Structure 1
Amino acid sequence: MRTPYNILRHELIGLKVKIVDSKNKSMVGIEGRVVDETRNMLIIETDKKIVKIPKEIATFLFYLDNCKVKVDGRLLIGRPEERLKKKIKPLYPY
């Protein structure tokens, strides 16, 4: 089960997400569902199109079943299977 404390160790595909901050201000406010993930990007399907967001420059707000979690994209860099090996401090609900 995905919780705010272990979200970095789980699959992100299928989660609802919103960009809350980015170095590229035109990306702020993009909202949709994660449909794919590469080493450096999250691919998000919005109502109108599919958008590729670089993890390094964005801060994401993930919607879980009972809460929201704000995640700095730099913590997500790497393939999901590689993130399991990293020692990462737990995140707390937003």
Structure 2
Amino acid sequence: MPVNPKTLPRHELVGLPVEVRSASNPDLVGIRGECVTETTQMLGIESGDRVRQVPKAGADFSWTLPSGDVVTTAGSRLVARPPRRTEHRGDSKWR
């Protein structure tokens, strides 16, 4: 299944360009780069010469898909272990 705006939360996020659009910590707003790590609560965004850790909850992210589409997602929709999030959100035939 290709990545599209509707299925983004069910896909692997590592490797996608991302920008922090809003966050409960104003110092994090505007961070942009490539998502290089993901845990249950955090995204690691490579920005310049360092990796910034951004909490998923309390933030909104804009993702640039391989098709060129830009999708904004609430971080609260992404809070879960990556394997569980990609498997159990939506209509997975593997449940």
Q: Which residue of 2 aligns with 1:18?
A: 19
TM-fit CA distance, 1:12: 0.1
Aligned-partner residue type, residue 26 of structure 1: D
Q: Which protein is bigger by CA-based radius of gyration?
A: 2
Pick one of 69, 77, 90 that aligns with 2:79.
77
Aligned residues: 88
Q: Which residue of 2 aligns with 1:86?
A: 89
**Normalised by the size of structure 2, how large is the TM-score?**
0.87
Q: CA RMSD in A?
A: 1.3
Q: In structure 1, how many angstroms separate the alpha carbons of the residues matched to 2:4 and 2:18?
A: 15
Q: Secondary structure at the match of 1:50?
A: strand
Q: In structure 1, how many angstroms separate the alpha carbons of the residues matched to 2:65 and 2:89?
A: 22
Q: Is there any run of 5+ residues in structure 1 with no aligned partner, and where?
A: 89-94
**Normalised by the size of structure 1, how large is the TM-score?**
0.88
TM-fit CA distance, 1:48: 2.7
CA displacement 1:36-83 (0-9 Å, x = unmatched): 100100011011311000000210000012200000000000112211
Q: In structure 1, how many angstroms separate the alpha carbons of the residues matched to 2:42 and 2:18?
A: 13
TM-fit CA distance, 1:5: 1.1
Aligned-partner residue type, residue 77 of structure 1: V
